[in-house]
Amino acid sequence: LDRRVRSGTWQITPDAPMPAFRSMTFATVGLGRIAQGVLDRARPFGFRLAAYDPHVSDDAFERAGVDRLDLDALFAEADIVSLHCPLTSETAHLVSAERLAQMKPTAILVNTARGGLIDEAALIDTLTHKRIAGAALDVFTEEPVEPDNPLLRLDNVLPLPHIGGHSEDNLKRMVGHWAS
């Protein structure tokens, strides 16, 4: 729709149905401080909130007002999957071809955590064949991302240059942290 408006096409009806947020599930992989902040920002829009985090207690999920899902259920049920976990040997390529195949064709994948969490070749294939609606990527496997990376040519990808956490205040805090 953004590209249509920029090209001079004003069409107020979308190509595909747009469900109300209250009928959608917003899910995070991880339920740490950042993931909880993201879910708190989604809460006023009426999403069902869910997460997967094997390191967090059921009580923490209950206090956060978030449904606990296993990874298979999360990828199958979520309309928006937002990644908020570290890159470790257990989480490398957590978002594999198999996980992407579990997602709804209308789902959106968001990665502001680490590029290596996603199998980029599998994501490129999934997005090229429109098996999910799209991806918003603030991080890539290789950074800076190469200009010939196929993800940059896909209309259903919103790429950013690893600046999702950058604000004037955050930059000051990071510089202070690095200086100490």
Taking the C-alpha atoms of residue 180 and residue 167, their distance in angstroms, rounded to an integer, is 20
Question: How do beta strands 67-68 and 80-83 pair?
Answer: unpaired
Q: Tell me the DSSP string of 92-140.
A: TT-B-HHHHHHS-TT-EEEE-S-GGGB-HHHHHHHHHTTSSSEEEES--
- Residue whose C-alpha is closest to residue 141's, from 166, 111, 107: 111
Tokens of 73: 């259920």
Residue 19 CB contacts under 8 Å (≥ 6 apart), including other chains: 79, 106
- 20's tokens: 């109300």
Out of 77, 84, 114, 120, pick the active-site residue. Answer: 114
162 is catalytic: yes
Distance CA 118, CA 95 (A): 5
Could you confirm whether 77 is annotated as catalytic?
Answer: no
Of 63, 143, 166, 173, the active-site residue reads: 143
Is residue 84 annotated as a catalytic residue, yes or no? no
Name which of 68, 110, 84 is nearest 32 in CA terms.
84
Instruction: Tell me which residues are annotated as active site.
Output: 114, 143, 162
